Amino acid sequence: MIEVRGLTKAYGENVAVQDLSFSVREGETFGLLGPNGAGKTTTIRILACIIPPDSGKIVVNGYNVVEDPLLVKAGVGLLPERISLYERLTVMENLLFFARLYGVEEPALRIKELLNKLEIQDRADELVSKLSKGLKQRVSIVRALLHDPPVLLLDEPTSGLDPISAEVMRSLVRDLSTQGRTILLSSHNLWEVQQLCNRVAVINTRLLALGSVDELSEKFLGPPKVRLLLEEVRKEVLEAIQSVNSVITVERRDKEILIGVKDPEKAVPVISEAAIRAGGRILEVSVVRPGLEELFVRVLKDEMGQDSSGG
Ligand code: ATP
């Protein structure tokens, strides 16, 4: 549905995106994750045909962004990073204006339907300047959905929103995904990306990593771990744990044993039983998953490591 091959874009000397490739499948929610200045907005603006790429082949909904920008735009709804509504017009006036630009049939009806869906029908006659950031963001989403596009590009959809407005936005993204739309969203927030996205591309000008958050977590941080706290760690207990089939790594820290496994939920009873049979007395058992922020930092650090070694 979205195909990006070798995308490069520079602003003068400043290369914002370099040789970026990824694809988003139909109906998938895909996350673009990266630190400030990583090139997320630049990529989204190119996909939405707001700015052209310097090089690369970019196809959205079957159309090339350079050759057929109007056809691309017809199938894409964009939630820009900065809200782009007329502050001195009402919600309805704004939406009617954009609906006419898109050639939406029966615009008033369509707008009413979307305002109802987003539970902001009672704000239709308010000036945009009077709305909170969260409400403006909802109006922007209505704007993006006016022409019923199959592809949505959401640039940091929850940035600057309070926790409740952010949850409204996330729940909306889930609904839009259930309707079968293809969604590409950018975020700094790995937790959010994990909640919403099937797969994620971590970028920092270049592509650093691509996969589901679980896949990336396993690749960059190793397997999840089962943690056993014992009254006393004896050699026989360690050996018994090591001999369990699904165990990948065993690490001892004082009275604690950290055991790397593929499927921790399945491994917990087997490991506990092995430890008890070998005479171990278990005080606590838990599953330790690496923090998501740790994953983000690790992916970026790996990149810096590669840079410093010339790779
Ligand atoms: P953020 O998370 O801060 O929004 P981002 O990942 O969206 O960042 P971009 O906004 O795409 O990143 O910026 C990538 C790089 O390109 C940055 O170095 C930025 O300063 C630069 N840049 C972006 N837009 C322009 C512009 N219009 N003119 C010149 N440089 C720009």
Contacts of 303 (CB under 8 A, 6+ apart): 204, 206, 208
pLDDT number for residue 310: 39
What pLDDT is attached to residue 216?
A: 86
- In this prediction, the residues of the chain whose per-residue pLDDT falls under 50 are 308-311
Tens-place pLDDT, residues 264-308 = 888 999 999 999 999 999 999 998 877 667 788 888 887 776 654
Q: What is the pLDDT of residue 311?
A: 36
Which of 7, 13, 14, 15 maximizes ligand 1 atoms within 8 Å of its Cβ, making it the mutation to test the pocket? 14
List, chain by chain if needed, residues with CB within 6 Å of any ligand 1 atom: 11, 14, 16, 34, 36-42, 81
Q: Which of 39, 46, 49, 36 is nearest to 159 (CA)?
A: 36
Choosing from 41, 43, 193 the residue with most ligand 1 atoms within 8 A of its CB, the one to mutate for a pocket test is 41
What pLDDT shows up at residue 140?
94
pLDDT confidence of residue 309: 42
Compute the distance between CA of residue 261 and CA of residue 250 in angstroms, rounded to an integer.
9
Tokens of 211: 């996969």
Q: CA dist 82 to 24, 160, 282, 284, Å?
A: 24, 11, 54, 49
3-state secondary structure of 166: helix
For atom 29 of ligand 1, the residue with the nearest CA is: 11
What's the pTM value of the predicted model, to 2 decimals?
A: 0.82
- Residue reference for tokens 């490739």: 21
